[in-house]
Amino acid sequence: MELARRVASLKPSSTVAVTNRAKQLRRDGVDVLSFAAGEPDFDTPDRIKRAAIAAIEAGQTKYMPTLGDQDTRQAIADKLTSENGIPGLGFENVGISVGGKHSLFLAMHCLLDAPEPGAEADEVLLPVPSWVSYRPIAQLAGGRVVEIETNSADGFRLDPERVRSAITPRSRLLVLNSPSNPCGTMYSEADLRAIAGIVHEMRDVAPRLIVLTDEIYEKIVYGDTPHFSIGSVPEIADRVITLNGLSKAYAMTGWRVGYAAMPGDAGTQFVKAMGKLQGQMTTNIPAFIYPAIRTALAECADDVARMRDAFAERAGIIHGLVSAIPGVTCPRPTGAFYVFPDISAHFGKTTPKGARLDTALAFAEALLDEGLVAGVPGEDFGGCGARCMRLSFACSEEQIRAGIERLGAFIDSLR
């Protein structure tokens, strides 16, 4: 079967692939403990379910405006104004799409141009390690990804000066993700303000540069660093797209709700463009989900806090257990629900079945095959991720204890 080149050359999502593989093994009766999925193990809060069920029963089952009804878009604008301090937002500055991934896809396709023959591509500045989907989606939209390195020794901190050095006249997007998937760490308010200052100072060098900040883990925060939205910094607020969604904070991964927002007139134009593209893709998200979004935003702070407290507890447990394994170093997680340990001290060793572990991919495959633990190998997260493996702790404490014991035994068995 001949496929279009852009799809044939597209890298499949490794997070989705490992998650599906672990689920299939469990269905086949294999006792795998999976730390692969970036998905809360909690059920969606009842209030949210009831809002959707009531909407179905009331007949809200038809097409709706492509980017969402005005009330729901306004509710999101209000949330971003009051909770995140982002100025200049009305309903027309917000678009609702089929998950944060779809919002990201639309945003990148609205802003990046495939280069004209002979011209240079728009540059997407991407601090790495970062979530596996930013790079392929940016490339699919015609962008050229420029990685900005961080390292695990200093907790994957993004040095603002490295952002300065990466900016060129071709810079179009700076992608930020705090709390970070896969690092499990956050950027401080001071660093984000410094980055905003640099973007502002360098506006003559890079006049088309827009900051795209993915804040989907903003509510899953449990260290000393509070979440800070770079879109609230007045000097650059009208050049920031804030991306978010309900998947993580409200345990709504299967509902597929994401949104993007940008202030002012530029934001209105950008959101309109998203609507044009979405109108040729999916039209609106399912109609009966809009009331559920409003319920989640207005009434579910206690559910969010309950889940966050559970993640905080697990973060401490998994970090302690993983860090105690010889040859494994792991920054302390302060947000999201991942640890991203460096396992490269074990590269070059061999497993009892004879597999040689030269890469994170080989390590993760052997760990699944021989140790019955699923984690995502770090290569596709970029940069120093190639020395790491991502473990999601969106699972029970019992599973964390049993799984990390298996990881320790697997490492102990290497020669």
Give the H/E segment covering residue 350.
strand 349-350
What is the smallest separation between the CB atom of 39 and ligand GLU, expressed in angstroms?
A: 6
Identify the residue among 73, 79, 101, 219 touching ligand GLU (CB under 6 A): 101
Smallest Cα–Cα separation from 135: which of 218, 251, 13? 13
Burial annotation 374-402 (CB, 10 A radius, 16+ → b, else e) = bbbbbbbbbbbbbbbbbbbbbbeeebbee
State yes or no: residue 19 binds ligand PMP (CB under 6 A). Answer: no
Instruction: Collapse the DSSP code of 99 into the 3-class scheme (helix H, G, I; strand E, B; otherwise coil) and give the result.
Output: coil
Show Cβ contacts of residue 241 under 8 Å, excluding neighbours closer than 6 positions. 107, 210, 211, 212, 213, 231, 260, 261, 262, 267, 270
Smallest Cα–Cα separation from 261: which of 95, 79, 15? 95
Asked if 297 and 259 count as a contact pair (C-beta separation under 8 A), the reply is no
- Considering only residues 56 to 75 of the shown chain, the ones binding ligand GLU according to CB under 6 A are none
Asked if 99 and 70 count as a contact pair (C-beta separation under 8 A), the reply is no
Neighbours of 74 (CB within 10 A): 17
Residue 245 interacts, among ligand PMP, ligand GLU, none and using kind-specific CB cut-offs from 5 to 8 Å, with ligand PMP
Neighbours of 196 (CB within 10 A): 22
Identify the residue among 16, 146, 304, 362 touching ligand GLU (CB under 6 A): 16
The label of the residue with tokens 């302060």 reads 334
Return the sign of the alpha-carbon dihedral for residues 64, 65, 68, 73: negative
What is the smallest separation between the CB atom of 80 and ligand PMP, expressed in angstroms?
A: 16
What x-and-dash track marks residues 153-182 binding ligand GLU by CB under 6 A? ----------------------------x-
What is the smallest separation between the CB atom of 237 and ligand GLU, expressed in angstroms?
A: 27
Nearer to ligand PMP, 104 or 411 (CB): 104
State yes or no: residue 344 binds ligand GLU (CB under 6 A). Answer: no
> Would you list the DSSP string of 146-174?
EEEE--GGGTT---HHHHHHH--TTEEEE
Whose CB is nearest to ligand GLU?
38
Nearer to ligand GLU, 131 or 311 (CB): 131
Q: What are the tokens at 392? A: 């999601």
- Residues in contact with ligand PMP, total (CB under 6 A)? 13
Q: What are the tokens at 31? A: 């006792």
Nearer to ligand PMP, 178 or 225 (CB): 178
Q: What are the tokens at 326? A: 């010889």
Identify the residue among 13, 81, 283, 359 touching ligand GLU (CB under 6 A): 13
Residue 375 interacts, among ligand GLU, ligand PMP, none and using kind-specific CB cut-offs from 5 to 8 Å, with none
- Considering only residues 129 to 148 of the shown chain, the ones binding ligand PMP according to CB under 6 A are 131
State yes or no: residue 38 binds ligand GLU (CB under 6 A). Answer: yes
What is the smallest separation between the CB atom of 165 and ligand PMP, expressed in angstroms?
A: 24
- Considering only residues 200 to 239 of the shown chain, the ones binding ligand PMP according to CB under 6 A are 214, 216
- Considering only residues 30 to 59 of the shown chain, the ones binding ligand PMP according to CB under 6 A are 38
Residue 183 interacts, among ligand PMP, ligand GLU, none and using kind-specific CB cut-offs from 5 to 8 Å, with none
- Considering only residues 81 to 110 of the shown chain, the ones binding ligand PMP according to CB under 6 A are 99-101
Task: Please choose, out of 116-124, 130-138, 232-240, 269-277, the segment that lies near ligand GLU by the rule CB under 6 A.
Answer: 130-138
What gap in Å lies between CA 403 and CA 414, rounded to an integer? 17
Binding site for ligand GLU (CB under 6 A): 13, 15-16, 37-38, 101, 131-133, 181
Binding site for ligand PMP (CB under 6 A): 38, 99-101, 131, 177, 181, 214, 216, 245, 247, 253, 258
